[in-house]
């Protein structure tokens, strides 16, 4: 009986010290990791993920909306109107020339945003503003897909369900999360924003 008691005393004396040592090791490792990644990793990782997943998707989509010639951005393609303003496009009999000029401005702005915002995010230039703009763009894109392009059911999905592959509440929520990372943390040191900030801070 005394042997068992002695063993318990030894364990009580040893385990707390062991646990404290592990806790200190854990704290040291992850504090060093946090300090090493602070200021550059979160924003860079979000931008890198965006570039690898979505840059070409948006550039290709925006490029296909441009009209012909050097000034094609001022005269978007028919597909741009059908994609961005489906009800307006249909109400005017799919005749782009019959659509009022103020809708032309909306289509031009949407097309330019689809090209410019992703490039600004990847380059790290005006990153927080570009990320907020991209969040708004994704929200409008999702609304148009649901309201006018017939996206519904499993393609829309829902939060806290057991399916991880819907377009709106799974994929695009993750897209928005990447943008929020940039809004909250900035683009990081590996960005044009950081270079410009350093330049302007110099006396």
What secondary structure, in 3-state letters, does 51-116 show? Answer: HHHHHHHHHHHHHHCCCCCCCHHHCCCHHHHHHHCHHHHHHCCCCHHHCCHHHHHHHHHHHHHHHH
pLDDT value for 137: 98
Q: Residue 15: what pLDDT?
A: 62
pLDDT given for residue 183 in this prediction: 97
Map out the domains of the chain as residue ranges: 1-38, 40-201
Contact 155, 149 (CB under 8 A): no
Q: Which pLDDT score, from 0 to 100, does residue 56 have?
A: 98
Identify the pLDDT of residue 194: 93
What does the alpha-carbon distance between residue 51 and residue 134 come to, in Å, rounded to a whole number?
13
From first to last of the 203 residues of the chain, give the pLDDT tens digit. 455 555 555 555 566 777 888 888 999 999 999 999 988 899 999 999 999 999 999 999 999 999 998 888 889 999 999 999 999 999 999 999 999 999 999 999 999 999 999 999 999 999 999 999 999 999 999 999 999 998 999 999 999 998 999 999 999 999 999 999 999 999 999 999 999 998 887 66
Residue 21 has a pLDDT of 86
- The per-residue pLDDT for 141 is 96
Calpha distance 178→155 (Å, rounded): 21
DSSP state of 167: I
Alpha carbon of 99 to those of 44, 92, 108, 141: distances in Å?
Answer: 42, 6, 13, 21
At 19, give phi and psi (nearest 5°): -65, -40
Q: How many CA atoms lie within 13 A of 150 on its CB side?
A: 0
Q: What is the pLDDT of residue 71?
A: 86
């Amino acid at each position: 009986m005394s042997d068992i008691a002695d063993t318990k005393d030894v364990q009580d004396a040893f385990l707390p010290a062991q646990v404290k040592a592990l806790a200190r090791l854990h704290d040291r490792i992850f504090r060093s990791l946090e300090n090493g990644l602070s200021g550059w990793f979160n924003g860079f990782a979000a931008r890198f993920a965006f570039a690898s997943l979505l840059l070409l998707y948006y550039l290709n989509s925006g490029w296909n909306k441009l009209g012909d010639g050097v000034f094609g951005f001022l005269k978007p393609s028919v597909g741009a109107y059908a994609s961005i303003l489906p009800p307006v496009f249909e109400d005017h009999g799919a005749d782009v020339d019959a659509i009022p000029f103020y809708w032309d401005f909306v289509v031009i702005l949407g097309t330019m945003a689809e090209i410019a915002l992703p490039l600004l995010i990847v380059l790290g230039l005006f990153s927080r503003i570009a990320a907020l703009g991209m969040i708004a763009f994704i929200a409008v894109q999702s609304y148009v897909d649901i309201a006018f392009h017939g996206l519904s059911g499993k393609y829309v999905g829902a939060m806290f369900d057991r399916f991880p592959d819907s377009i709106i509440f799974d994929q695009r929520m993750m897209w928005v999360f990447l943008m929020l990372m940039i809004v909250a943390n900035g683009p990081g040191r590996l960005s044009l924003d950081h270079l410009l900030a350093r330049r302007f801070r110099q006396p």
